[in-house]
Structure 1
């Protein structure tokens, strides 16, 4: 398609004759992303048809003008009748088609309303046949429910070749595109974009963006190297531990699993001896990013202990490691890749699990590798006991 982050998620690009689904919260930027992709494809490969069922032709053109995406081979059709859409596909023979959105399309032969289970299933089936028979790639936009799932029948995700989720917090500028299903590539990739006035811009160095406003020497702040697909990201994990005003202490987490936080605080109390029963604990991943891998366990524990003791960690230190219920620090995957990313940004001290770190010292002679086997050992190393 020519948009590197988008191509990365799809495994190298869009396969001709494929049908893929793009879902995301309202206003997150799904239509903007696909309009930019349509513009690039039309300039490189030929005719592209953008079918808008939610906006008028005038409204869609205004958005394209604002983004500067008015290519000669990019055509717009404001239509919700799938029979009319099929007619224009056969007439124009475009290389790429965007249906925005599948919940607005209807087959006039069915008595049900647009967006119903039967309509969504039938319209998707017809689009699938059009894509395979006409060797035309088709992208369909799908609405999501409050639970974050694609609205409509569950079968919808099984019918398409790829399912992409466009995620992000509308209070922040960055967006993440993830593949949860891909018949033509890996589902471990992710693309990172920043929402700007002229549309979505690719973020070439996301770690630097997430750490741009970090304050050094602040208690409760720890930098952790996590994996987003096959890409290593450095993010700041913040903790605030303060005496509670209630009978039951509060535990709140933004960006990490709250159940995981409760588990790790229990490890701190049992294995380290920190008295947190009367302390409110708040954990936040700066920038609004959501991190769900076990490698952030050690960072959560050290950030909470740092805030509790009011003892800041070293500003050039990166922490990574999974923590077990016995207080042990377990090995994680791709430690070398995480360190390489951190070295680029000037970090020189790395607290890592002891298992599988024998060769890291030889590979990174200019940095300090600190292997730890337990939470107690990590506390002694990072916070002085």
Structure 2
């Protein structure tokens, strides 16, 4: 009885919110009428995209409320409404998500109103079931019905708010276009970095090496000691050039990944980070199958950047790294117990990390409230 009461109370709360939203939608009709009149009169056409954006927020609130009851997130797919007034109107009208939201809103005017009108019956039902179960020792009747009605309301809302295949395709195309732009930007930045490293490092050392060898050849016969000194300097210059070239290669694809694999490379990063880092591995070494090289490289750079940021900014001596093999990808989670407040716009490397992951169609989730902790979770899709 106690469990049924709790479920019914939660269902009643959900239905109360649904009824309250339905009541608000009836009031919102005034806004819709003003927008329609303004659009027909042309002078108020600018209201149309603003109203569509407001409807999106209302539908988003409904999605959140429904997800809280069902435990399953309802995806949303909208086209951005930006640009001039004409462009904003065109985007609002042509977006398939607008039709989806309007369809839900019209339907909610009716089934939401039913729940609003039925609200006074819930307390009566609870009292009846209390008497029925308390005095007659029978199984509750009204309480399961309330839960079932809440499930029905959530099912209807989910079906109506779920984006159409056309809207999902349009959103996916938009997402891929943005991802492609980020990948191109990241690729361009990487090329410029490699060019700069070669120009300022290896190339400069090789030029100096060539000059010292030339001077040594000229001084060889008349001043052997000077020639020997120049050759020693040339040898040191050659070793430095080799070091610079190794650093450039390491920035493209770390050799340690080839030698030790992702787990070994991450453990090496943890050992050299200057922090007390715990590394947890889930199902990555079970059968010896490795992720694609590009995925391993992205995961390696994510861990390297996250640990570098933790050492520089967090103020905490501890961090943790988790590597987990998922059914269709790789999950990387780096956390520290520092002061938090990480900002992607502050030049901490988080934007570059996001672009590198986006190039592989992965996702980055950052949680860094002021006061900490900072948690970075990356998911990289791949086939094992």
Q: TM-score normalised by the shorter chain: which range applies? A: under 0.3
Normalising by the residue count of structure 2, what TM-score does the alignment of the two structures yield? 0.22
Which structure would you say has the larger Rg? 2
Question: Normalized per residue, which structure has more helix?
Answer: 2
